[in-house]
Amino acid sequence: MTFSKANETVCHLRGEPTYPKLWKDGDIIVGGVFSFHSSWEVRELTYSITPPPLKCINLNFRDFQYAQSMRFAIQEINNSSTLLPGVSLGYKIYDTCGSVAVGVQAAMALANGHDKTSVEGPCTKQSEVQAIIGDTTSSACIVITRSIGPLKIPLISHYATCECLSDKIKYPSFLRTIASDYYQSRALAELVRHFGWTWVGAIRSDDDYGNSGMATFTKVAEQMGICLEYSLPIYRTYTEDKVLRIIEQIKSSTSRVIVGFLVHWEMEFLLHKLIEHNITGFQWVGTESWISDSVIASMDKNHILQGAVGVAIPKNEVTGLKEFILDIKPLKSSGSAIFTELWESLFQCKYSNKNDSSLTTECTDKEELSDMQNSFTDMSLMPIFSNVYKGVYAVAHALHDLLGCTDKCATKKQPDPSTFLKQLRKVRFKTKDGEEVYFDENGDPVAKYEIINWQPSKIKHDDFVPVGLYDASFPEKDRMSVNMASIIWTNNKTKVPVSVCSESCPPGTRKAVQKGKPICCYDCIPCTEGEISNMTDSVTCLRCHEDYWSNMKNDGCVKKETEYLSYEEIMGILLTTISVLGAIITILIAIIFFRYKNTPIVKANNAELSFLLLFSLTLCFLCSLTFIGRPTEWSCMLRHTAFGITFVLCISCVLGKTLVVLMAFKATLPGSNVMKWFGPLQQRLSVLAFTLIQVLICILWLTTSPPFPFKNLDYFKEKIILECNVGSALGFWSVLGYIGFLALLCFILAFLARKLPDNFNEAKFITFSMLIFCAVWITFIPAYVSSPGKFTVAVEIFAILASSFGLLFCIFLPKCYVILLKPEKNSKKHMMGK
């Protein structure tokens, strides 16, 4: 057909004349295009501009059932007193022979009323039909609706599911009573995910239905984490080599699930090949086009498809339709020539005027369909027949509204196509069996599917058992419900088949995609320490909170162990014992000194400073106890300041004793008056002054940046070290530095006085004690810095105790030895021997 001029279109149709196979007159005609034959052959090859004529072959019983459904609906409407009263509907139904070209030719004949395809004349007259019911396939509907789209004649399909047909810009006059593949593809993807299959193969019809549907399925599947090992097209006209490559791909695949997005013709073709090559053991997932097709099930002699699951149009009975479909004798009385071919094919007989040697039985017209078992008598596709029925009723309800029908229609005039199309898209009604019918903005109905499972049966083929539902009108999480217990899988198994590229990663590991492979192929990598994954197939590992750490299996976080030097552990008990013992020894020595305070040795060594020194040493031993136990805000401030002040007090006393020794010998020189400048008062003031300086340093430290409890999370990753942060490092090292300065000063002075003449020169013992003191604290610094956790505190306590014991033993032990064991030496004469 070609178009010319703006206001007039001239038809130039070329080809074989086309005539309706079934027809009936009426006030308004509804067209129909169905494939009464599934294929064709060219009668003879001609070399002209006219296409060679086609011969239709292979009678297709299914489309006869669709045509009967259309006739039933029209008859029911014509007999109704409430729908289109006074207006009769007629029909013209054409055979497309399974050819898209013939389908377009039939549609144009319906649109223009020209059965002959060679016509010269205008095409702008009123369309002969109000709407066209059909065709069955998406590819045919795409081409037909493009051809008649400019004429605004609605095409209502009962079985074309391609998502592309929902595009109202490209296909404004197309509507359908079956759900779009957009929802079917999503339903299939959700079904695959529901069963835990992430590694699947896919085979599709190499046409608009298969390619468009598989494209949507692939997109949705990827979003759901499902990978396709392969996606192969197939068509019944493929060469043997091409089909063999498909078979080899299936054989060599590692996935055990195959999604078949195929029309029933391609599924029949593929099934023959699978039987031929004995390919079994795969779990098939099917679309509504073949999952509930009894013809395909009866062909599956080797049970290759047994256990298949898929989505099918929900069962829907139309009262009286089954009986009408099987009553084909009225076709003969209507004068339809196709009746003869149908009858002969059904009963494998011939009429006397036929010369077909393959048929040996003569037809008598007394044959009964009740005695037959074939695809024509099979009513498993009743939901599709219902779709045809609903399409015709949608046309009738739109006409009813436009013709102003109440008790009787106001007019019988056929409405304008554009007006009718608008009304048809808005129609909403309920069938006599209570099903609500309407179209959405894309001309599609609401998507509802049954989930079907092929289960073994004692009858001719597998049973189609409903095992679940999918309703696209529900929220996404509630759309699918499946009764897993009622499913029988491939090879008659009751356990869900496994089809994954890689086994699931257990908790404690994460998925790492294998290089160059789909995301479903991965390695399971254990989570690193401190990270966990608490679910199967985790993509990432989650880091535990800083107070927690991963357990041994890395599948949960446990609270970190806290570490500090406590009184309950052996080290804490030992250090506490030594501290208390040191304090007790110091007190005992103080008691001894007090008991022998009037003896020469106590008097000669400055009894007042000795008692003050013993008091400060007692505090030094006891201050080490503040380092043990759980750090608190008060204990952190107390431990460092108490330590700093008591040690300064201690060193100040030692320094005072050293100065006393030096000054005493200076005073023995002729004319020396030095002792009056370093008497008892001056000694007390010097000790007080040295100690006050440390007190001021500590006050400044505590007011600016005091020590505080601190959780050290860096040293050990798996446990928390509770320690005291010194706050101001300057304050901390100032306290230690001042102690060190006094100790060094004391050491130097004592060293200078070590050889002064005296039987009991205390400077020698002070020198040795300061040597020990300085050695301990010089060693302390690197040990303190490098010790981990609670051992840092232990090192500090050890330094305190070691230096305290050094002072105590070096200064006081020799004196106690003389007092208790050598009393004869505790005399003024002996003391003044030199």
**Residue pointed to by tokens 């002209």:** 48
Under the banding of pLDDT at 50, 70 and 90, the label for residue 272 is very high
Q: Residue 348 gets which letter from DSSP?
A: T
Reply yes or no: is the peptide bond before residue 444 cis, omega within 30 of 0. no
Is a pLDDT exceeding 50 seen at residue 14?
no
In angstroms, rounded to a whole number, what is the distance separating the alpha carbons of residues 243 and 272?
Answer: 11
Q: At the topology level of CATH, where does 181-312+456-492 sit?
A: Rossmann fold (3.40.50)
Q: Name the residue ranges covered by the structural domains of the chain.
A: 10-179+319-404+417-438, 181-312+456-492, 509-559, 570-673+728-831
Q: What is the pLDDT of residue 356?
A: 56
Pairing type for strands 708-712 and 719-725 reads antiparallel
Is a pLDDT exceeding 90 seen at residue 445?
yes
Identify which of 632, 305, 274, 648 has the alpha carbon closest to the alpha carbon of residue 463: 305
Q: What is the pLDDT of residue 290?
A: 93
In angstroms, rounded to a whole number, what is the distance separating the alpha carbons of residues 318 and 430?
Answer: 12
In angstroms, rounded to a whole number, what is the distance separating the alpha carbons of residues 657 and 348?
Answer: 135
In angstroms, rounded to a whole number, what is the distance separating the alpha carbons of residues 76 and 22?
Answer: 17
In angstroms, rounded to a whole number, what is the distance separating the alpha carbons of residues 458 and 714?
Answer: 72
In angstroms, rounded to a whole number, what is the distance separating the alpha carbons of residues 99 and 147?
Answer: 15
Identify which of 207, 258, 254 has the alpha carbon closest to the alpha carbon of residue 231: 258
Q: What is the pLDDT of residue 607?
A: 76
In angstroms, rounded to a whole number, what is the distance separating the alpha carbons of residues 758 and 665?
Answer: 10
Is a pLDDT exceeding 50 seen at residue 10?
no
Under the banding of pLDDT at 50, 70 and 90, the label for residue 11 is very low
For the residues 558-579, what does the mean pLDDT come to?
89
Under the banding of pLDDT at 50, 70 and 90, the label for residue 733 is confident
Q: How far is CA 808 from the centre of its chain?
A: 71
Question: What count of residues does the chain have?
Answer: 834
For 814, counting Cβ atoms within 10 Å of its Cβ (0-12 exposed, 13-18 middle, 19+ buried), the class is: middle
**Residue pointed to by tokens 């201050």:** 623
Percent of all residues in the chain with a pLDDT value above 70, rounded to a whole number: 88
DSSP for 275-319 reads HHTT---PEEEE-TTTTT-HHHHHH-TT-SSTT-EEEEPPP---T
Comparing 494 with 679, the larger pLDDT belongs to: 494
Q: What is the pLDDT of residue 165?
A: 93
Encode 625-653 in three state secondary structure.
HHHCCCCCHHHHHHHHHHHHHHHHHHHHH
CB atoms within 10 A of CB 405: 20
Q: Where are the beta strands (DSSP E) in 295-431?
A: 309-312, 428-430
What tens digit of pLDDT does each residue of 382-436 get?
Answer: 899 999 999 999 999 999 999 989 888 888 889 999 999 999 999 999 999 888 9
Torsion angle of the four alpha carbons 301, 306, 312, 314, in this order, in degrees rounded to the nearest 10 = 100
For the residues 221-241, what does the mean pLDDT come to?
92
Q: Which residues pair with 720 in a beta bridge?
A: 562
Q: At the topology level of CATH, where does 10-179+319-404+417-438 sit?
A: Rossmann fold (3.40.50)
For 75, counting Cβ atoms within 10 Å of its Cβ (0-12 exposed, 13-18 middle, 19+ buried), the class is: middle
Percent of all residues in the chain with a pLDDT value above 90, rounded to a whole number: 37
Encode burial over 106-118: b for 16+ CB neighbours within 10 A, e otherwise: bbbbbbbebeebe
Q: What is the pLDDT of residue 7?
A: 36
Q: What is the pLDDT of residue 644?
A: 87
Under the banding of pLDDT at 50, 70 and 90, the label for residue 4 is very low
Q: What is the pLDDT of residue 66?
A: 94
Pairing type for strands 480-482 and 463-471 reads antiparallel
Comparing 155 with 678, the larger pLDDT belongs to: 155
What tens digit of pLDDT does each residue of 667-702 get?
Answer: 454 544 555 555 667 777 888 888 899 899 999 998
Q: Confirm whether 10-179+319-404+417-438 and 181-312+456-492 share one CATH topology.
A: yes
Pairing type for strands 309-312 and 283-286 reads parallel
Query: Global pTM?
Result: 0.63
Is a pLDDT exceeding 80 seen at residue 114?
no
In angstroms, rounded to a whole number, what is the distance separating the alpha carbons of residues 399 and 413?
Answer: 10
Per-chain mean pLDDT for the chain: 84
In angstroms, rounded to a whole number, what is the distance separating the alpha carbons of residues 30 and 44?
Answer: 34
For the residues 233-255, what does the mean pLDDT come to?
93
Q: What is the pLDDT of residue 117?
A: 47
For the residues 179-202, what does the mean pLDDT come to?
93
Q: What is the pLDDT of residue 482?
A: 94
CB atoms within 10 A of CB 428: 10
For the residues 315-339, what does the mean pLDDT come to?
82
Task: In the chain, count H helices and then E strands.
Answer: 22, 29
Torsion angle of the four alpha carbons 504, 510, 516, 518, in this order, in degrees rounded to the nearest 10 = 40
In angstroms, rounded to a whole number, what is the distance separating the alpha carbons of residues 19 and 16?
Answer: 10
**Spatial CB neighbours of 146, under 8 Å, sequence gap ≥ 6:** 170, 171
In angstroms, rounded to a whole number, what is the distance separating the alpha carbons of residues 270 and 268?
Answer: 6
Q: Which two tokens stand for residue 135?
A: 């065709």
For the residues 91-110, what does the mean pLDDT come to?
90
Is a pLDDT exceeding 50 seen at residue 50?
yes
Q: Which two tokens stand for residue 203?
A: 């085979």
Distance spanning both ends of the chain, measured CA to CA? 144
**Residue pointed to by tokens 């419900």:** 481
In angstroms, rounded to a whole number, what is the distance separating the alpha carbons of residues 231 and 210?
Answer: 11
